[in-house]
Amino acid sequence: MTGDAYVAGVGMHPFGRWPDASMRTMASEAVLQAVGDAQLTVRDIQVAYFANSLGGLLTGQESIRGQVSLHDVGIRDIPIINVENACASGSTALWLAIRAVRSGEFRVALAVGVEKMFVGDTQRTLSALQTAADTEATAGQGLQFVALYAMRLEEAIRTGALTTEHLAKVTTKNKRNGSLNPYAQFRKLMTEGEVLAGRPIAGPLTLPMVSAISDGAAAVIVTASPGSNGAVRVRASVLSSGAVDGLGELVVRRAIALAYEEAGIGPEELNVAEVHDAVSPAEFFRYEEMGLCPAGGAGELFDSGATGLSGRIPVNPSGGLSARGHPVAATGLAQISELAWQLRGQAGARQVTGARIAFAQNSGGWLDGDAAACAVHILEATNAA
Amino acid sequence: MTGDAYVAGVGMHPFGRWPDASMRTMASEAVLQAVGDAQLTVRDIQVAYFANSLGGLLTGQESIRGQVSLHDVGIRDIPIINVENACASGSTALWLAIRAVRSGEFRVALAVGVEKMFVGDTQRTLSALQTAADTEATAGQGLQFVALYAMRLEEAIRTGALTTEHLAKVTTKNKRNGSLNPYAQFRKLMTEGEVLAGRPIAGPLTLPMVSAISDGAAAVIVTASPGSNGAVRVRASVLSSGAVDGLGELVVRRAIALAYEEAGIGPEELNVAEVHDAVSPAEFFRYEEMGLCPAGGAGELFDSGATGLSGRIPVNPSGGLSARGHPVAATGLAQISELAWQLRGQAGARQVTGARIAFAQNSGGWLDGDAAACAVHILEATNAA
């Protein structure tokens, strides 16, 4: 388990509402882009981990979603493993691909995530999303995670740690970042007033704060050697599942701690981060869990500008889930795509200057108030600074 | 990737029609049995691969099926990965668990497969099973694999390689084996006349030849060291996906060849085998693909008695899919459970005398006429002969 692993290529199908796109057309586009980015061909891929969460319920394709979706690009006669972990499906596929390479068994592994969520019936999509929780325990209660975040945010506002303005401001920050990202679903700037005037969803949350229904795909090629195209080295790769924890998301803290330990670094060494903000103000909880600030200090950190694009540790330069969109199983690999571009200096107008160490956190599902799965990856640039 | 891996414990929830059982109750029973069999506790499990194919469509639980199903037995704060590969889902989970241990990262891994297929609506179950094929290509065409097997068998009968009596006889052999298996769904003996008089399904196939709708679960504990309970060593572990192949199931031949190569043995060294007989006469194709007989020689091999319980290489001592039942994602791990019991001399009335080397083949899904996935595992006894 001592072998190195590299992110050698990344690719995305833009997130958005794509009536004419299917799981297979979106997956194909992301895979071909990632393969080209790695200066390889699809025949070089030795094992593929295919992430999708809702295809069975929303498109009718269950069971062999990866084989069906990868067939057209010629990925056929290798091990293809279909994986699922709700909103953390994509990073779960990456976790497996990294292990396939680290073990020495494979030299080139593919992780790809795709979701087709616009199926002409929003209620059906929302019902499918409820399967990210224990359906026996929560049947008919709606999207549990939104209510749980609303409760946590109300508590933070009550204690003075955050204000309603903070909730609006972090959303406008991420909409601004998303406006610079050609792969983002929402590229329109919003004012704080517009965010607060949005349709109320739960507690202090309004519609612009909530991650959106989206179609899209993202792919990552993991290799055993860095190649010649500025591959990004994997410094840490952690996956864990939740224990019983009330509202604290203990699993996120644990996964982050394990990742810092594996990478041998602390939060002060991070230069850029993509975190799972299923509602954009959830980013504040991530600041604390990452150790970027003390407990209760997230609002102050944000006010200092540290997490803005030109701050000390820009968070969600891609726009995060509320701006980039959240095609469930693609999100974790979209984070990795964004960070690879950032570490290679290819992020265009949203480039974080001189980023060398990047952090990605992707959560999925809810069980007993904790996330059902959480993956954390830390990446490092290998090209000249 | 040079570390050894052992099957240290196995367990099953009996296959059958269990109206009061859920995915979680069946998975729990199989896991606790496997853990006890390995003389470990659930807290020793460091990573879990959870296989299920149809839970989203049939029970409504998609996305985090493993977390929900393993929660009650206390498997919570470790990496839990939900995997799917149609009828090969269980062996795909095993393939991953073996790699988790071989890599040195984990010392104890769980592979568990469960399926809840009786949901009070047979047509809904049959529709869900169609997702094992490309649903865009085959929409409304029914269960493709049955028709494909019927065509292959008709061709074998036309050329004289097999007779209709062979189709009946291999079914009665497997029903007889199943009658000795307390975990089997169908434990009634059938005569050849009863098999041939069964409801016609497709071509020469009758209902008793076809694998049945079933509820059930199976679990396997994989460890890095053999322990003290007669653990079984993994000699080969192969997973592949199908290419374009018409009716030949090329992927099965390729996976078998790779497994022999990895184990450094040939078919003559096998003592017992469990193969994927989605229709019981498919066992004849497996004989040829395994190299137990030359092309066209399956009927003759069967007539010699070699594949019967007291023959040279007993095949499907558990009863195979048509007698044991076929709860989709549990089947591959039920094969491994059976073989572990056989290699440890614990198979009761269906014990194969002196079995030391065992072979398991598990296919899943259909794409362009080839299986979408095929796993082959070769196991070896470590206890005194």
pLDDT in tens, A310-332: 999 999 999 999 999 999 999 99
Closest Cβ–Cβ partner in A67, A79, A239 for B367: A67
To the nearest whole Å, the CA of A351 is away from the closest chain B CA by: 33
Residue B292 lies in a domain: yes
Residue A107 lies in a domain: yes
Instruction: Please name which of A329, A333, A355 lies closest in space to residue A342, comparing C-alpha atoms.
Output: A355
Q: Please give the sequence-ordered ranges of beta strands (E in DSSP) within chain B, or none if there are none.
A: 6-16, 47-51, 80-84, 108-116, 200-202, 205-206, 215-223, 232-240, 272-274, 357-367, 370-381
End of a domain among A231, A260, A288? A231
- Return d(Cα A30, Cα B131) in angstroms, integer: 24
- Which residues is B221 bridged to in the sheet? B9, B110
- Checking A194-201 for CB contacts under 8 A at 24+ apart, the result is A195/A167, A195/A168, A195/A171, A196/A164, A196/A168, A201/A146, A201/A150
Q: Hey, what are B370's tokens?
A: 């080839």
Give Cα separations from A329 to A23, A149, A210 (angstroms): 11, 21, 17
CB atoms within 10 A of CB A269: 16
Q: Is B120 on the interface with A (CB under 8 A)?
A: no
- Interacting residues of B158 by C-beta distance below 8 A, sequence separation 6+: none
- What pLDDT is recorded for position B385? 42
Catalytic residue among B13, B87, B166, B276: B87
Residues A68, A159, single domain; the answer is: no
Q: Quick one: closest CA in B to A96, which residue?
A: B96
Closest Cβ–Cβ partner in A62, A254, A373 for B57: A62
Q: Which residue has the tokens 């309603």?
A: A164
pLDDT digits (tens, 9 = 90+) for B332-357: 999 999 999 999 999 999 999 999 99
Q: Which residue has the tokens 């069999």?
A: B37
Catalytic residue among A87, A276, A374, A377: A87
CATH assignment of the domain containing B110: 3.40.47.10
Residue A384 lies in a domain: no
Active site residue B71: no
Active site residue A374: no
Catalytic residue among B13, B166, B276, B326: B326
Three-class SS of residue A158? Answer: helix
SS3 content of chain A, % helix, strand, coil (to 5): 40, 20, 40
Residues A111, A140, single domain; the answer is: no
Write out residues 49-108 of B within 8 Å (CB-CB) of A. Answer: 53-54, 56-57, 59-65, 67-68, 71, 76-86, 92, 95-96, 99-100, 102-105
Q: Is A206 on the interface with B (CB under 8 A)?
A: no
Residues A44, A12, single domain; the answer is: yes
- Return d(Cα B372, Cα B252) in angstroms, integer: 10
Residues B244, B259, single domain; the answer is: yes
Q: How many domains does chain B have?
A: 2
Pick from A32-46, A238-252, B255-269: least confident: A238-252
Write out residues 219-248 of B within 8 Å (CB-CB) of A. Answer: 239-244
Residues A143, A52, single domain; the answer is: no
Residues of A with Cβ-Cβ distance to B131 under 8 angstroms: 56, 60-64
∠ CA A326-A235-A175, rounded to 5°: 30
Residues A109, A253, single domain; the answer is: no
Residue A126 lies in a domain: no
* CB within 8 Å: B105 and A96: no
* CB within 8 Å: A63 and B131: yes
Phi, psi of B160 (to 5 degrees): 85, 0
Residues B101, B205, single domain; the answer is: no
Residues B52, B189, single domain; the answer is: no
Residue B1 lies in a domain: no
To the nearest whole Å, the CA of A195 is away from the closest chain B CA by: 30
Q: Hey, what are B165's tokens?
A: 């009596």
pTM as predicted: 0.96
Residues B333, B345, single domain; the answer is: yes
Instruction: Please name which of B70, B113, B59 lies closest in space to residue B325, comparing C-alpha atoms.
Output: B113
- A308 DSSP 8-state letter: S
pLDDT digits (tens, 9 = 90+) for A140-168: 566 678 888 999 999 999 999 999 999 99
Phi, psi of B282 (to 5 degrees): -60, -20
Residue A248 lies in a domain: yes
Residues B85, B148, single domain; the answer is: no
pLDDT band at B139 (very low <50, low <70, confident <90, very high): low
* ipTM greater than cut 0.90: yes
Q: What percent of chain A has pLDDT over 70?
A: 96
- Which residues is B381 bridged to in the sheet? B232
Residue A355 lies in a domain: yes
- Give the structural domain span for B206: 128-211+235-381
pLDDT over 80 at A179, yes or no = yes
Residues A47, A65, single domain; the answer is: yes
Residues B192, B223, single domain; the answer is: no
Residue A128 lies in a domain: no
Which of B67, B252, B366 best tests the A interface by mutation, with the highest count of A CBs <10 A?
Answer: B67
To the nearest whole Å, the CA of B238 is away from the closest chain A CA by: 8
The count of CB pairs under 8 A between chains A and B is 189
To the nearest whole Å, the CA of B159 is away from the closest chain A CA by: 30
Give Cα separations from A305 to A272, A285, A287, A313 (angstroms): 14, 16, 13, 9
Amino acid at position B340, single letter: A
Pick from B32-36, B163-167, B209-213: least confident: B209-213
